[in-house]
Structure 1
Amino acid sequence: MPTLRPDLKSILKFLRSFLGIIRILQIVFGAGLWVTIAASKYDGSIHFVLFVAVLFWLLTLALFFLTLLDKQDLVPLLGGERWLCTNLTHDAVAAVLYLPAIGVMIFKTGRISYCNLEQYTEPCQYKVYLTAAVFACLCCLAYLLSVIYGACRKCLGETTVI
């Protein structure tokens, strides 16, 4: 039983760290985005938004659990001393790909804004698209914060994420 204490302490340390909190937010906002889209009727360019949301949700989940369990050394080529760079690259690519996803959601929301009127009686995706646009913005913000945090750690010469 005493061997579990250091592991529990490192888990709690990560969960209370800035990156741990940001990762949890990325996972929650990403899940909110793709569940919102997947639970509705979508078409066309929304597939790109769904692809970005699900891809980075899964990758962020993997990074989160590898860091949480302190198993990043087991990842070939990307783990160990390169883990900070791996996280930084992941977050930067996610932030860059979320920007066009935000644009798609805003464009689609604007195109159907007419159906937000009370007199409109047909089924309308306006609120779904608006909710997805907000989740996409929150995801992008969380990834940008993570990029800034990782870049600051890298500039200070750190090699670990926490």
Structure 2
Amino acid sequence: MHRRVHQENMLKTIGSFWGITRILQIVFGAGLWVTIAANKYEGSIHFVLFVAVLFWLLTLALFFITLLNKQDLVPLLGGERWLSTNLAHDVAAALLYLPAIGVMIYKTERNSFCNLDQYKHLCLYKIYLTAAVFACLSCCAYLLSVIHGGCRKCRGDQTLL
């Protein structure tokens, strides 16, 4: 009986607005860092990779802690503070993704010259463009979470769901 209730709670969590946005953040973040890490990168791209991997790992941790309903075990940040913790995480992610998007757009534009069929050397244009799209999608997913979490917080809610 207890196991069935736990499974139903997990499905409810995954199907909630919060669960869906977390899954999107994880998928888009992974898409970003895999696109960059699988190809040649240098300079300011390291910042983008840092942001993508950091928030991918943190988002995974928050997702699984909530999914397993273990937020009360997190010292200082869990329990009644869990909504605020998630909201602060989402705000930080959205704010750091903005300059990451700028870096990717800059790098994409700088490599637009090689986006010709006649160009036979290594061209990072499409890779950087793909990474820029993933960065934008990730930022949008975090912004949705910020709006949703902010609305819940303003209503006086203490929980994510």
Classify the TM-score, shorter chain: over 0.9
Q: Counterparts of 2:120 and 2:154 in 1: how far apart (Å)?
A: 56
Which residue is equivalent to 1:38?
37
Structure 1 segment 9-24 matched on structure 2, within 5 A: 9-24=8-23
Note if 1:86 corresponds to 2:81.
Answer: no
What amino acid sits opposite 2:121 in the alignment?
Answer: E
Q: Counterparts of 1:61 and 1:24 in 2: how far apart (Å)?
A: 9
Q: How many angstroms does 1:3 deviate by? A: 1.3
Identity of aligned residues (%): 74
What amino acid sits opposite 1:160 in the alignment?
Answer: T
Which ranges in structure 1 are unaligned for 5 or more consecutive residues?
none
Q: TM-score, normalised by structure 2?
A: 0.99
SS at match of 2:107: helix
Q: Counterparts of 2:80 and 2:119 in 1: how far apart (Å)?
A: 58
Q: How many angstroms does 1:6 deviate by? A: 1.3
SS at match of 2:103: helix
Which residue is equivalent to 1:54?
53
What amino acid sits opposite 1:155 in the alignment?
Answer: C
Structure 1 segment 12-161 matched on structure 2, within 5 A: 12-161=11-160
Q: Counterparts of 1:10 and 1:91 in 2: how far apart (Å)?
A: 23
Number of equivalences: 161
Q: Counterparts of 1:160 and 1:9 in 2: how far apart (Å)?
A: 18
SS at match of 1:109: helix
SS at match of 1:62: helix
Runs of 4+, deviation exceeding 6 Å: none
Q: Counterparts of 2:8 and 2:120 in 1: how far apart (Å)?
A: 56
Q: How many angstroms does 1:128 deviate by? A: 0.4
Which ranges in structure 2 are unaligned for 5 or more consecutive residues?
none
Q: How many angstroms does 1:5 deviate by? A: 1.3
Q: CA RMSD in A?
A: 0.4
Q: Counterparts of 2:5 and 2:151 in 1: how far apart (Å)?
A: 27
Q: Counterparts of 2:24 and 2:16 in 1: how far apart (Å)?
A: 13
Q: How many angstroms does 1:82 deviate by? A: 0.1
Q: How many angstroms does 1:118 deviate by? A: 1.5
